[in-house]
Protein backbone atom coordinates (compact mmCIF):
# COMPACT_ATOMS: atom_id res chain seq x y z
CA UNK A 1 0.00 0.00 0.00
CA UNK A 2 2.86 2.40 0.81
CA UNK A 3 4.52 2.61 -2.62
CA UNK A 4 1.16 2.82 -4.38
CA UNK A 5 0.09 5.68 -2.11
CA UNK A 6 3.42 7.39 -2.78
CA UNK A 7 2.95 7.04 -6.55
CA UNK A 8 -0.61 8.35 -6.60
CA UNK A 9 0.02 11.06 -4.03
CA UNK A 10 3.03 12.42 -5.89
CA UNK A 11 1.22 12.45 -9.23
CA UNK A 12 -1.74 14.23 -7.62
CA UNK A 13 0.52 16.77 -5.92
CA UNK A 14 2.39 17.63 -9.13
CA UNK A 15 -0.86 17.83 -11.12
CA UNK A 16 -2.43 20.20 -8.59
CA UNK A 17 0.70 22.38 -8.65
CA UNK A 18 0.67 22.31 -12.46
CA UNK A 19 -2.99 23.32 -12.72
CA UNK A 20 -2.56 26.13 -10.19
CA UNK A 21 0.50 27.47 -11.98
CA UNK A 22 -1.37 27.66 -15.29
CA UNK A 23 0.98 25.55 -17.43
CA UNK A 24 -0.35 23.00 -19.87
CA UNK A 25 -0.80 19.32 -19.02
CA UNK A 26 1.89 18.44 -21.57
CA UNK A 27 4.41 20.11 -19.26
CA UNK A 28 3.47 18.88 -15.80
CA UNK A 29 2.15 15.38 -16.58
CA UNK A 30 5.48 13.86 -17.73
CA UNK A 31 7.34 15.60 -14.92
CA UNK A 32 4.77 14.29 -12.44
CA UNK A 33 5.17 10.73 -13.68
CA UNK A 34 8.98 10.89 -13.51
CA UNK A 35 8.97 12.38 -10.02
CA UNK A 36 6.33 9.87 -8.87
CA UNK A 37 8.34 6.90 -10.16
CA UNK A 38 11.46 8.19 -8.41
CA UNK A 39 9.60 8.71 -5.14
CA UNK A 40 8.04 5.25 -5.41
CA UNK A 41 11.48 3.75 -5.93
CA UNK A 42 12.76 5.49 -2.81
CA UNK A 43 9.71 4.29 -0.90
CA UNK A 44 10.44 0.70 -1.93
CA UNK A 45 14.14 1.11 -1.11
CA UNK A 46 13.32 2.35 2.39
CA UNK A 47 11.00 -0.60 2.96
CA UNK A 48 13.60 -3.25 2.15
CA UNK A 49 15.50 -4.59 5.15
CA UNK A 50 19.18 -3.83 5.50
CA UNK A 51 21.59 -6.62 4.66
CA UNK A 52 23.05 -8.45 7.60
CA UNK A 53 26.76 -7.78 7.74
CA UNK A 54 29.24 -10.04 9.47
CA UNK A 55 31.68 -8.20 11.75
CA UNK A 56 35.03 -7.55 10.14
CA UNK A 57 33.95 -8.05 6.52
CA UNK A 58 34.44 -4.40 5.57
CA UNK A 59 30.73 -3.59 5.66
CA UNK A 60 29.10 -0.53 7.12
CA UNK A 61 29.78 0.59 10.64
CA UNK A 62 33.52 0.17 10.48
CA UNK A 63 35.60 3.31 10.37
CA UNK A 64 38.01 3.51 7.48
CA UNK A 65 41.64 4.35 8.20
CA UNK A 66 42.45 8.05 7.92
CA UNK A 67 45.38 7.67 5.59
CA UNK A 68 48.41 5.62 4.86
CA UNK A 69 46.51 2.43 4.12
CA UNK A 70 48.14 0.14 1.57
CA UNK A 71 45.04 0.21 -0.64
CA UNK A 72 45.06 3.98 -1.00
CA UNK A 73 46.81 5.34 -4.07
CA UNK A 74 49.49 8.01 -3.52
CA UNK A 75 47.40 10.79 -5.05
CA UNK A 76 44.65 10.11 -2.50
CA UNK A 77 47.08 10.29 0.42
CA UNK A 78 48.40 13.63 -0.90
CA UNK A 79 44.82 14.89 -1.18
CA UNK A 80 44.07 13.91 2.44
CA UNK A 81 47.24 15.61 3.65
CA UNK A 82 46.45 18.77 1.67
CA UNK A 83 42.92 19.05 3.06
CA UNK A 84 43.72 18.26 6.68
CA UNK A 85 42.77 21.17 8.95
CA UNK A 86 45.55 23.19 10.46
CA UNK A 87 45.17 25.04 13.75
CA UNK A 88 44.30 28.69 13.42
CA UNK A 89 47.27 31.02 13.88
CA UNK A 90 47.39 32.95 17.13
CA UNK A 91 47.82 36.68 17.24
CA UNK A 92 51.15 38.02 18.32
CA UNK A 93 51.34 38.40 22.08
CA UNK A 94 48.30 36.20 22.73
CA UNK A 95 48.66 33.79 25.60
CA UNK A 96 48.14 30.08 25.01
CA UNK A 97 46.43 29.49 28.35
CA UNK A 98 49.09 26.95 29.38
CA UNK A 99 51.27 27.91 32.33
| pLDDT tens digits, 48-66 | 887 776 666 555 555 555 5
Query: Is 95 contained in some domain?
Result: no
Please state the pTM of the whole predicted model: 0.48
8-52: pLDDT as tens digits: 999 999 999 999 999 888 998 899 999 999 999 999 988 888 777
Q: 84 Cβ partners below 8 Å, 6+ apart?
A: none
CB 39 within 8 A of CB 7: yes
Query: Is 80 contained in some domain?
Result: no
CA atoms within 13 A on the CB side of 55: 0
Confidence class for position 75, pLDDT limits 50, 70, 90: confident
Query: Is 86 contained in some domain?
Result: no
User: Distance between CA 61 and CA 9 in Å, rounded?
Assistant: 35
Q: Which domain holds residue 19?
A: 2-47
Helix residue ranges, H only, the chain: 2-21, 25-47, 74-83
* Model confidence at 89: pLDDT above 80: no
- Domains: count for the chain: 1
Query: Is 58 contained in some domain?
Result: no
Amino acid sequence: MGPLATLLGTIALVCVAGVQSGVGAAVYAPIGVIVAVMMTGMSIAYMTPAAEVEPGDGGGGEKAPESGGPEEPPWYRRLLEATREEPAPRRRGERTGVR
